[in-house]
Chain A
Amino acid sequence: MRHARIIFDGRELDIDIDANDRITTSEGEVLDVALDSDQISWLPPVKEPGTIFALGINYADHATELAFEPPKEPLVFIKHANTLTGHKQVSYRPDNIDYQHYECELVAVIGKSGKNIKREDALDYVAGYTVCNDFAIRDYLENYYRPNLRVKSRDSLLPMGPWIVDTADIPDANALKLTTTVNGKVTQDGSTKDMIFDVPFVIEYLSKIMTLNPGDMICTGTPHGIVDCQPGDTIVCTIEDVCSLETRMVSEQEYYGDKY
């Protein structure tokens, strides 16, 4: 089963989507609408977002691309809900920068609280998986708490969704094809099998430090194949058997409108 949050017919709804793409609300109402309909506005899929943990340099080939040695322990940074937006929504490119790239990533959504969780039990704490695009702006990198908040905590630069797939429906999260297209052209073509630290490892690692809670998310990093994105570009991040996340880039002025 898949789970999402949408606005449809003026109503904010929690929905389940079955194998036949039939949509049922949490009230039991069946919606007569297709999944690709423009009548649906997709919200970020986690209803009460908690702490968002993101991994840097978690694919060996991406580490090489960035001229880094693969890390010996996870490089983790934190994001908050201001960065989230949904499927088919917009993300912005800041003015006067040279290089902003997408990062297509598998996301594990935590479903129950735990501390000191063992790797072999870790998936019991995962409610499901979704896809995110953890945009980065390389111009803003500084060597202090890198990747710093100026790079990774900006509004709208973590599109996620469209839905969460139950953990039980993904027998092996480390055997999934991962692709990104920009304006229809494939620019990233990898597999979650190349992840350095997998979801159970990261859950064990983080939960030795702190309590994980429902609504926390772990974004697991991106493989080789990042390119600059410009306003007007449409970026689609896809992970096999999970979902495809579409994002349209806009300028900073278009995004902030009156607040610009």
Chain B
Amino acid sequence: MTANTLVNSKLVCVALNDKAQLAALDATFNEAPYKKPPTQPVLYYKPRNTWSADGAEVEWAKDFDGNDVAEMAVGASLGVVIGKETCRVSAEEALQYVGGYTVVADYSLPEQNYYRPDIKGKCLDTSAPVGPEIVAADKVGNPSELKVTVSVNGTQKSVFELANMERSVAELISIISRIMTLQPGEIIAVGFAGDRVPVAKSDRVEASIEGVGTLKNTLGGA
């Protein structure tokens, strides 16, 4: 965890919130081990050892034999920063609890399986840069109209319109707040493009949301 992380105490991420990805995986999700598509948001944590900041280098992961892994990937999401204690709120009132917005990048091993918690893939040190800053909620407007882009070495690789999320920001806040009481400064990464972007050692990555900011990081491993 870097000293200047913007995250306070918790970073909750929402997987499989891209409608197109859910549609593409529908047949898979009707087979074992899943047996049926998810009925609830699919959530995971990026724990504190992953938290990092704008401009920081992201470590290239090692496998269990201590060798560099062959592949890593990145996804980017709008980060919803909780503004006040959020406990069991309705979707209608949920956006009142948002203090601001930021950009979350999730560097990981390629997503291959959603059956078990992906500790090996997702919990890598420095793999969750957040930033570059927190923009006040009233400066952003309707989060469902935002668009998240990922560029690698100056070339745009991914565009994700939040209107294509299976569940909206407000719905997610409401559902999550009925699982856990959220505290000010805790962040929810509400949705990633289903196709994660492959990255290589030393790549320069920009995750950007117009009106929220551009989060710049470089892969290590060179």
Contacts and interface: CB of A to CB of B under 8 A. Distances in A.
A112 interface: no
Contacts of B191: none
Contacts of A83: 180
Nearest to A76: B119
A148 B9 contact: no
A144 B181 contact: no
Contact residues on B (Cβ < 8 Å of other chain), bracket:
35 or more
Contacts of A115: 125
Nearest to B45: A78
A80 interface: yes
Interface stretch (B30-38, B94-102, B150-158, B213-221): B30-38
A51 B180 contact: no
B222 interface: no
A75 B180 contact: no
Summarize B's interface: helix, strand, loop or mixed: loop
Given A145-B114, A145-B116, A153-B180, A80 B44 contact: no
Given A142-B39, A142-B40, A145-B43, A211 B117 contact: no
Contact of B125 (A75, A211, A260): A211
Given A80-B9, A154-B180, A213-B49, A146 B116 contact: yes
A103 B65 CA distance: 33
A145 B48 contact: no
Contact residues on A (Cβ < 8 Å of other chain), bracket:
35 or more
A148 B10 contact: no
B74 interface: no
Interface in A238-256: 256
Contacts of A51: 47-49
Interface in B117-133: 117-120, 123-125
Nearest to B118: A145
Interface string B85-111: 001100000000000000000000000
A80 B45 contact: yes
A211 to B, nearest CB: 5
B179 interface: yes
A64 B88 CA distance: 36
A140 B41 CA distance: 12
A259 B180 CA distance: 12
A75 B116 contact: yes
Given A80-B180, A143-B35, A209 B124 contact: yes
A22 interface: no
B163 interface: no
Contacts of B40: 140, 142, 148, 150
Interface string A56-88: 000000000000000000011110111100000
Given A115-B125, A260-B88, A144 B49 contact: no
A259 B88 contact: yes
Nearest to B37: A144
Nearest to A52: B47
Given A78-B47, A78-B117, A208 B64 contact: yes
Nearest to A71: B116
Interface string A135-168: 0000010111111111001110000000000000
B42 A144 contact: yes
A260 to B, nearest CB: 7
A81 B118 CA distance: 20
B15 interface: yes
A260 B89 CA distance: 10
A210 B49 contact: yes
B82 interface: no
Interface string A111-139: 00001100000000000000000000000
Nearest to A147: B117
Residue of A51, A82, A144, A150 contacting most chain B CB atoms (<10 Å): A144
Contact of A210 (B12, B36, B124): B124
B106 to A, nearest CB: 14
A225 interface: no
B16 interface: yes
B88 A256 contact: yes
Interface in A210-260: 210-213, 256, 259-260
6 contacts: A82-B10, A116-B66, A145-B42, A148-B42, A150-B40, A210-B50
Given A147-B117, A212-B49, 15 more contacts: A78-B119, A80-B180, A83-B180, A142-B40, A144-B38, A144-B114, A144-B115, A145-B114, A150-B179, A155-B180, A155-B181, A211-B49, A211-B125, A213-B1, A213-B48
